[in-house]
Amino acid sequence: MKRSQEILTLSTVIAMFFTSSTWAGNGPPIENRQLNCTENGECTNNQQQQSLAGNYLTDSEDAFLSEPKQANSDNGAHNNQQGSQENCMDEDCSLLELAEISEAEIATLLFMREEEKMARDVYITLYEVWQTQIFTNISQAEQRHMEQIKALMDGYELPDSALEEIGLFANSDIQALYDSLIERGSISQLEAFQVGALVEEVDIADLENAIAETENPALEKLYTNLMNGSYSHLRSFVRNIESLDNTYQVQYLPQEEVDYILNPATANPGIAINVDDSQITATNAQFKPLIKNQNGSHNNGAVFAQNDEITLATTFRPDTTHIGQNADLLTAATFTPVGDNRQSMFMRGKNGNWQQWDGDLNNVVVSQTQQKLSVNQRFEIYQGSLPAGKYQISTAYRLQNGTFILDEQPMNFSVK
C-alpha cells in the first residue's frame, strides 16, 4: 500500500483502518472499510469490516504479547560474558548470538532464577496444605520458567546458586519472604489464593524493572515471556478468590495495572504505519483507554454533562520488539461542536495545551519526548470539564525511525 506522491495525513490513516467515523471527512464511511493482513503483517484495504488484532489475548500460559519460548541453550558459549542460544519455535530453530551481559544484568538474572524457584516452592507447599489443583498447575509452569532462565544462564556459562531443596534459598530476603508467605497461606484457602496473587504481582513488578534496566534482546525476550505467564497466573488466582465470594484487592502493583491485567479483552490492538512509504502493519502493541467521570468508568459512546469532571488516559503495552526503545508519545483529537458538522483537529503539546493541527503526520505535536518504552506505559491525556460536542481521542507513540504505532480504536464520546 504505497502513496509516495501523496501527503499522508492522519485523516487518511484513520479512514483506512479506524472503526469510527472519518476524521476530516475524507473517504467513505469506515464501516465499509477493512484491512486484510497476511502472516508477515502486511495489510491491504478491502471492503468488509474485520479486526486487525495481530495477537488477541487468551488466558493460556504465556499468551499475552507472547514470544517464542526460550529453548535449551547451546553450551558451547564463548565465555561468561557472551554466548550462544538456540531459540526454537515449532521445530524451526536457529543459533542466535547472545549479546554481552553486564554484571548488573547477571545479578538480576540470578535473582529472577531464585524468585521463580520461590514461586514454585510456595505453590508446591500450599498444594500439600490445601490439595487444591491450581497450585499444582502453576507450580509446574513456574518449573518451566526456572528452566527457561537456566537455559539462558547456561548460554552465558553462569553458575546456578539456586538450591535444590524445596523451601531453601541462597538469597536471605527471598528466604524470609517465602517463610512469611507459607505462614500466611496456611491460615485458610482464601489466604492461600491471596498469597498466590501477591507472588505474581511482585514477580510482575520485578520483571518490569528487569526489562527496563536492560537492552539485551535475549533478556528482554525471556523476561517478557515470564511476565506473560505471571499475567495468566494472577488472573487464575483472582478467579479462585472471586469463586469464594470475595473481591480481589490489589496488594503490590498500581490498581490501574492490575485492572489492565485482569481485563485484557478490553485492550485495543495497535497498528504501525511507516510515513515514508505509507505501509501499514499489524503489531502486538495493546492500548487500553480510560474514559471516566465522577461516577466511574465508561465505554466508548458515553454521554457526559458539561459540568462533569472527565478523566481521559491510556495504558498501553508497546510491541514486544519496541520495549526499551525511545519514543515520542502523541495525542490527537477531533471536536465537532453541537449543531455544527465542521470538525476541528488538535494535538496535545508538552505543557498540556491543545494546538490546532492540519492532520499531516509530518507536522505532529509531541506530548512527551524520548520516553524509554517500558512494558506498561501510563499516558495521562486530560482531566476537567469539556464544552458540548462530539469527541474522538487517539493516542500513539513514534519510534526514532519515524514509525507510528496508533491505537486501532480511538476513544469517542459526547458532551451535552
This prediction's pTM:
0.61
- Per-residue HEC secondary structure of the chain comes to CCCCCCCCEHHHHHHHHCCCCCCCCCCCCHHHCEEEECCCCEEEEECCCCCCCCCCCCCCCCCCCCCCCECCCCCCCCCCCCCEEEEEECCEEEEEECCCCCHHHHHHHHHHHHHHHHHHHHHHHHHHHHCCHHHHHHHHHHHHHHHHHHHHHHHCCCCCCCCCCCCCCCCHHHHHHHHHHHHHHCCCHHHHHHHHHHHHHHHHHHHHHHHHCCCCHHHHHHHHHHHHHHHHHHHHHHHHHHHCCCCCCCCCCCHHHHHHHHCHHHCEEEEEEECCCCCEEEEEEEEEEEEEECCEEECCCEEECCCCCEEEEEEEECCHHHCCCEEEEEEEEEEEECCCCCCEEEEECCCCCEEECCCEHHHCCCCEEEEECCCCEEEEEEEECCCCEEEEEEEEEEECCCEEEEECCCEEEEEC
Of 4-8, 235-239, 284-288, 323-327, give the range with the top mean pLDDT: 235-239
Quote the pLDDT of residue 97. 65
Does residue 226 surpass a pLDDT of 90?
Answer: yes
| Ordered domains of the chain (ranges, CATH) | 84-262 (1.20.1260.10), 267-415 (2.60.40)
Quote the pLDDT of residue 300. 86
Least confident of 17-31, 67-81, 198-212: 17-31
Quote the pLDDT of residue 68. 28
Which pLDDT band holds residue 379 (cuts at 50, 70, 90)? Answer: confident
Q: What is the pLDDT of residues 32-64, one digit of tens each?
A: 223 333 333 333 333 332 222 222 222 334 332
Quote the pLDDT of residue 276. 74
Q: What is the pLDDT of residues 380-397, one digit of tens each?
A: 899 999 999 999 999 999
Which pLDDT band holds residue 376 (cuts at 50, 70, 90)? Answer: confident
Q: What is the pLDDT of residues 79-136, one digit of tens each?
A: 344 444 444 333 332 334 688 999 999 999 999 999 999 999 999 999 999 999 999 9
